[in-house]
């Protein structure tokens, strides 16, 4: 419930979504994590008549309601900002890892050679596009390559005969 002339929480959220698409995504995630406890029974326009006004009741109560709603919105925005900061940190970590793996493979760090419109490689930056960075290759690809070679060698060896008596007869 809000004071007359002030937007409802839903209206504020809608306005924020329109102003900043990135914030809209965060608000959607928050809304999905915290569904409304008591979903509105009527569309927002029907609830406007239920809002207190100076003529209907105590103006101090209306002000207190607006302040409480503003505090809830502020808390939600802080939570959204914290989530956005967390997403940004995770994105930065993933970009660093992607860049290191691309360096190890000698690939384009933007598209790995999969985007003909890439401003860095024009779609030519597949693994081996340029010489791998030695430090990255040793850290990320050499251990995997070594394991791959050992596994291939183990598969190529003939399996031992499960009948030891057959070996003694020859």
Under 8 Å between Cβ of 84 and 24: no
Quote the pTM value: 0.51
Return the percentage of the chain with pLDDT > 90, whole number.
44
Residue ranges per domain, the chain? 9-105, 106-156
In sequence order, which residues have a C-beta less than 8 Å from that of residue 78 and are 6 or more positions away? Answer: none
Q: What is the pLDDT of residue 122?
A: 96
pLDDT in tens, 112-141: 999 999 999 999 999 999 999 999 999 999
- Distance, in Å, from the CA atom of 28 to the CA atom of 80, rounded to the nearest integer, reads 10
Q: What is the pLDDT of residue 44?
A: 52
Tokens read off for 23: 């914030």
- Distance, in Å, from the CA atom of 52 to the CA atom of 72, rounded to the nearest integer, reads 19
pLDDT in tens, 9-22: 677 777 777 877 77
Alpha-carbon distances, residue 83 vs 34, 77, 89, 101, 147 (angstroms): 13, 10, 10, 27, 39
Say if residue 28's pLDDT is above 70.
yes
Predicted confidence band at 47 (pLDDT cuts at 50, 70, 90)?
Answer: very low
| DSSP-H helix ranges across the chain | 9-19, 21-33, 44-47, 59-105, 134-136, 142-156, 164-169
Q: What is the pLDDT of residue 24?
A: 74
Alpha-carbon distances, residue 81 vs 85, 90, 160, 165 (angstroms): 6, 14, 62, 73
Tokens read off for 124: 């030519």
């Amino acid at each position: 419930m809000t004071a007359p002339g002030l937007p409802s929480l839903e209206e504020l959220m809608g306005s924020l979504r329109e102003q900043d698409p990135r914030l809209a995504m965060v608000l959607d995630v928050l809304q999905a994590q915290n569904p409304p406890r008591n979903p509105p029974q009527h569309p927002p326009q029907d609830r406007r008549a239920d809002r207190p006004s100076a003529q209907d009741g105590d103006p101090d109560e209306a002000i207190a309601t607006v302040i409480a709603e503003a505090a809830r919105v502020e808390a939600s925005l802080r939570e959204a900002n914290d989530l956005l900061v967390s997403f940004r940190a995770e994105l930065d970590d993933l970009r660093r890892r992607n860049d290191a793996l691309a360096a190890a493979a000698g690939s384009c760090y933007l598209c790995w050679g999969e985007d003909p419109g890439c401003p860095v490689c024009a779609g030519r930056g597949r693994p081996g596009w340029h010489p791998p960075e030695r430090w990255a290759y040793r850290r990320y690809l050499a251990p995997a390559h070594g394991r791959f070679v050992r596994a291939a060698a183990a598969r190529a060896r003939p399996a031992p005969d499960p009948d030891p008596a057959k070996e003694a007869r020859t």
